[in-house]
């Protein structure tokens, strides 16, 4: 099992998405209203695995989509994606979702993000990675800050959910910031 792991951490490993075997997870997660609330600005919907698979096949770009597996019991708990590349400027964006409710808020997403940033900066030689997060997702914001992302701006009242308006927060991390954070973490160990 370890030999085919793409990126390995203490809690999670990232492996390239396999639509033949892993579409079932997307189908399950897309029916979870809390997951959809945290990840998307549209309501949860009943999308079948076959329709989702068609969507993934049609929209395959130059991104890197990984499934998040637990190290302990090889359970698929979420996804993380790096895409939107501007190769001339060496920039990209990241999106993440922990679909399994039992694994949210326990550091699995933070470690997955840290592994993906290692891939982005070390393997792809990116200069910058950015993301957007809904202002009500405070747990995700804290996780991104732990991974080194910094606040860059607010798109005011973009989302309308639960009969109120919400902001979208823009965050980013530069290669030099990531290198400094990793040096400090290595010294602390």
The domain that holds 106 is classified in CATH as 3.40.630.30
Write out the residue range of the structural domain in which residue 51 sits: 2-188
Q: Is 181 helix (H, G, I), strand (E, B) or coil?
A: helix
In this predicted structure, what is the pLDDT of residue 1?
A: 37
Domain total in the chain: 1
**148 in Cβ contact with 178 (< 8 Å):** yes
Sign of CA dihedral 174, 84, 125, 5: positive
73: exposed, middle or buried (Cβ count in 10 Å: 0-12, 13-18, 19+): exposed
Would you say the C-alpha torsion 80, 98, 144, 12 has a positive or negative sign?
A: negative
Residues of the chain with pLDDT under 70: 1-6, 42-61
Which pLDDT belongs to residue 142? 97
Model pTM score: 0.89
Work out the angle between the directed axes of helices 108-118 and 138-146 (0-180°, nearest 10): 40
Q: What is the pLDDT of residue 164?
A: 92
């Amino acid at each position: 099992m370890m030999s085919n792991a793409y990126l390995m951490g203490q809690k999670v490993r990232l492996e390239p998405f396999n639509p033949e075997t892993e579409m079932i997870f997307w189908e399950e997660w897309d029916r979870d209203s809390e997951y959809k609330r945290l990840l998307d600005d549209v309501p949860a919907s009943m999308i079948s695995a076959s329709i989702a698979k068609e969507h993934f096949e049609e929209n395959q770009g130059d991104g890197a989509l990984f499934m998040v597996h637990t190290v302990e019991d090889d359970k698929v708990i979420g996804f993380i994606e790096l895409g939107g590349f501007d190769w001339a400027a060496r920039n990209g964006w990241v999106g993440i979702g922990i679909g399994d409710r039992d694994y949210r808020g326990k550091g699995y997403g933070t470690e997955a993000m840290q592994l993906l940033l290692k891939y982005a900066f070390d393997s792809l030689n990116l200069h910058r990675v950015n993301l957007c997060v809904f202002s009500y997702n405070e747990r995700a914001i804290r996780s991104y800050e732990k991974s080194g992302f910094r606040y860059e701006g607010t798109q005011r009242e973009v989302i309308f959910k639960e009969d109120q308006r919400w902001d979208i927060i823009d965050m980013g991390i530069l290669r030099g910031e990531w290198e400094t954070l990793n040096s400090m973490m290595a010294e602390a160990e």
